Structure 1
């Protein structure tokens, strides 16, 4: 558990993502490695958050570099890794302008971190860096929240969860013309006998499959496959999360 000295959202992030089975996600990424006969040792994770996926992969023997724009998230991630005695390099950098000292075998960008890039120029910059820091034949794996999910699940809906330690209200506003979503989150975090309120606003953008393919093609990378959520089957029209695999 991260100390409350960190940014409020970083503190509650793990509580709000208890439904994410990071072991299953790690199994899935490894299944992609196996399916495409990839020999992977060192992995870079873009948008690592509080490090749960990177920590799971490090447990499995991979050399992990985990990058995030939020220093508070990284403080939380580093604390978790240290408690397990895991040697992970955490970098406080932007996924559109990061720098490494060498190359890696695989780069992953998971849990719709890709959708947080709301301008095509940002995505093109990221792809350029991904290609630059991948070893020859290296793989880039990323997922997106699909247009179907934005239009039919996220839309202008309201979500909430109430429990003893943290309660949140998540209000969405989706503009179908710009295909941008605004997430307004209000949290009530228990502090002793009282609850502290704080607010966060996040933005994501919806991208079509054809736009994703154009980004890959423009980058000079080779498209390998598209999969539905945590499967090795082609995504359906009602898939809420799609995965893409491309190689240098």
Structure 2
């Protein structure tokens, strides 16, 4: 999976109202004096908002392209916090944090339960005693909504086509992205990316969090709502 071209248009595709909601969700559960590790920090929008709210933030992402955009955004916003390029399955060498957050369904990129459990164990190991892990994932309903959908648009000099298909594992989807980039020679160059996402029954997440050592797990939907059959995004608050 590559974020090379997707990173360039990621912010244009995002619903920017979500960032205020993620900020509020975090602020309700994390003290502003806490150290915060953001997994899958992407282009740094939420990290900057948290920093401006007084949090001591570190951003982590596997994508060099995303982190480059996050660094540029820090300069534009005159805000600075550490950015780390690392796989969220490998956190053991990091210092302890009082809270870890992971939003925008970044955990849905884990390909199986073992990878998910590995992340949960790594997060548990880098949390201080009593620390909290906050994250969201697609519900099964949301994954099903993606299936057999197509989306086409043009952002700046990039035309792209986004087609989603059912993946091989249960509750999974494959997003096939084609980018047509306008060159200086007045031609279009084509690039392809495939992004695979997977979710699990809600009970599976709770089971794996408990296996990783978390003492309590609370679940809501679509930020602070009760979980129902119509919920699109599940939110988890797990305490060490």
* Same fold, TM-score > 0.5, yes or no: yes
Structure 1 CA distance for aligned equivalents of residues 156 and 67 of structure 2: 26
Question: What is the aligned length?
Answer: 237
Residue 86 of structure 1 aligns to a residue in which SS? coil
Residues 1:100 and 1:45: Cα distance change in structure 2 (over 3 Å): farther
1:197 is matched with 190
Q: Deviations over 1:101-151 (max 9, x none)?
A: 421111011101011001211111111111111111110001011101112
2:232 is matched with 240
Q: Is the 8 A contact 2:206 2:217 kept in 1?
A: no
1:71 is matched with 64
Q: Deviations over 1:1-47 (max 9, x none)?
A: xxxxx9322222222225454223212221233xxxx5652100111
1:8 and 2:5 aligned: yes
Q: Deviations over 1:31-81 (max 9, x none)?
A: 233xxxx56521001111111111111111111111111111111111111
Q: Counterparts of 1:93-108 in structure 2 under 5 Å?
A: 93-108=86-101
Residues 1:238 and 1:158: Cα distance change in structure 2 (over 3 Å): same
1:30 and 2:27 aligned: yes
Residues 1:28 and 1:196: Cα distance change in structure 2 (over 3 Å): farther
Structure 2 residue runs without a partner (length 5+): none
Q: Is the 8 A contact 2:100 2:134 kept in 1?
A: yes
Structure 1 residue runs without a partner (length 5+): 1-5
Aligned counterpart for 1:82 among listed residues 75, 85, 94? 75
Structure 2 CA distance for aligned equivalents of residues 99 and 195 of structure 1: 44
Query: What RMSD over aligned residues (CA atoms) do the two structures have, in Å?
Result: 2.1
Q: Is the 8 A contact 1:118 1:180 kept in 2?
A: no
